[in-house]
Amino acid sequence: MLCVGLLALYLAFPTYPNYDSYYALLWAREIWDGQKPIFDAFRAPTEHPLAILFSLVLTPFGGGVDRFVVLCSMASVAALTAGVYALAKHVFNRWVGLTAGVLVVANWSLIYLAVRGYLDVTYMALVIWAAVLETRHRRRGWPVLLLLTFAGTLRPEAWVLCGLYGLWMAWDGGRTLRDGLRRVLTVRGIAWLAAGCVATAIWLATDFAVTGNPLFSQTYTSGLAEELGRTRGPLEIPFVTIAFLKGIDGAPLFFAGVAGLLVTLWLVPRRSVAPLVLFVAGIGTFFLLGLGGFSVIDRYLLVPAALLMIFAAVLVAGWTMLPDGRLRRWWSRLAIVGAVGVAVAGALNFNPNSIANDLTFRGEAHDDLVSVLNAPQTRRALRCGPLWTPNHKLVPDTRWILDAGVPDVLPRSMLKPPLFDDELTGFDSPDRRVARREVPAAEGLRGPDGKLEYTMETDPETGKRKAVVVPDPTPVVRRGVMLVPTSRIALVRQGYVFVGDDRAFDVVPPVGFRRIATSTHYAVYASC
């Protein structure tokens, strides 16, 4: 039934991949064209090796494979739900498993990620099924590590899980520290430790092969996270963690999950080792990412959020694990009353019209984008210069539709005179250099030696030293094609998105450009 419902949603609301997934398709297309993928394009996301490999398989089948990416992501919801049910059923019982599965399906946040083609749901399914295999057969070995390795090539958070499982297999039941270390330091133990590092090695090798820097993802991501304001201080991370988990699961499920976690520790502590380890590892990895200066966003807590649903299911249906008695009766009554209350509150706050409108916009906006970009007058105008978008939001979609390279589709926001910490590197990425060649006024940002001229100033609010470019002209786009969002919803989501960073001027056609194509959500202007 779940699969039928997901398929009906997929057919009723044609949606398309998100920003990150489109970039994976673009990088695969560059490889098929015999080029190295450009990982350091302006605000390009962190690459994920498995996503690129999957896209490589799809690329020969044409431009319509973007919809297939969404279908696979939605199929991952079914796999995740089945995995959560199987894990909760094996660790607790069938009724807890059924309750946990219902909670996953009822969580619109996960389905909403899937309809936009996010790879995070697939990552969650891989981790949960690895836990299922391990709980069914202790020290299962290669099948578990293979799933974790796949997960580790989708998200670096799984590196910790891979390493821990490699150590777990290498330890091989040693009862004392000395006995365990003796087993680890054998050929077999070292082989398992090495196997636990395969996902990390694949990621580092990918970075090195493409950029020459094996740590590119780490350094580029941390710099971009600071530029976009996604970093958090050490004291903020605990509060951000709670806020993100409440945002994903909803406040009632979050508090039910925390209470269910305590009940689990009291009721069946030994049987619940696998979900507890996953939960602690997920939270710990999120803390490490925050302390390391990487992006701190809610999607990095999806696995702990899914495990909280299992613990919430224990709070609701855990009484079925008790023998007949007063505690079982009172627990069941309170659980039923609480579940009904949460269901009623959720139904009252659920707005199907808002969801339908959002999904409809995603499909219609993509169709409108295809319409204006494939218009004959737009295709002819592209001979005059690159296509400009207000910011980076529309860049991957536009490049995919036009089958265009990095220099052919450029965001105007990249021409903004930079203000950045002197420690940050990678500002002058390939597409920035191309943009400066295409925009004569932007050459004013450089001195006679071709380097950016700047002075160091102290930010009065943060006290940090900043590099401020001198002089500070506003680069002007003089030729090419300009894509402009015209509807209110497109302007908010794709035009003027990052307040304080995006400029309203960037969604206005440059002087001298004339309108050549229109649709409901977009217009195209050109100047030759």
pLDDT band at 246 (very low <50, low <70, confident <90, very high): confident
Helix segments in 33-64, DSSP class H: 49-58
Range in 213-222, 360-369, 388-397 the model is least confident about: 213-222
3-class SS of residue 92: coil
Per-residue pLDDT at 82? 93
Say if CB 480 and CB 528 are below 8 A apart. Answer: no
Pairing of strands 514-518, 480-485: unpaired
Range in 250-264, 445-459, 478-492 the model is least confident about: 445-459
pLDDT band at 205 (very low <50, low <70, confident <90, very high): very high
CA angle 243, 244, 247 (to 5 degrees): 90
User: For 373-404, what is each residue's pLDDT tens digit?
Assistant: 999 999 999 988 889 998 888 999 999 999 98
Per-residue pLDDT at 464? 59
User: For 260-270, what is each residue's pLDDT tens digit?
Assistant: 999 888 888 88
Spatial distance between the Cα atoms of 175 and 186, rounded to a whole number of angstroms? 16
- Integer Rg of the chain from CA: 25
Q: Is the pLDDT of residue 130 over 90?
A: yes
* For residues 328-345, average pLDDT: 81
Going along 398-507, which residue ranges are E strands?
409-411, 419-421, 454-458, 465-469, 480-485
pLDDT band at 344 (very low <50, low <70, confident <90, very high): confident
Spatial distance between the Cα atoms of 388 and 18, rounded to a whole number of angstroms? 20
What is the chain's mean pLDDT, rounded? 82
User: For 97-115, what is each residue's pLDDT tens digit?
Assistant: 999 999 988 888 888 889 9
User: For 442-462, what is each residue's pLDDT tens digit?
Assistant: 444 444 444 444 455 566 666
Per-residue pLDDT at 421? 40
- Whether omega for the bond prior to residue 471 falls within 30 degrees of 0, making it cis, is yes
Per-residue pLDDT at 432? 61
The pair of structure tokens assigned to 455 is 């002075």
Say if CB 125 and CB 80 are below 8 A apart. Answer: yes
Spatial distance between the Cα atoms of 44 and 438, rounded to a whole number of angstroms? 20
Measuring CA to CA, which residue among 237, 252, 268, 522 is closest to residue 370?
Answer: 522
Spatial distance between the Cα atoms of 467 and 215, rounded to a whole number of angstroms? 25
Q: Is the pLDDT of residue 226 over 80?
A: no
Q: Is the pLDDT of residue 434 over 70?
A: no
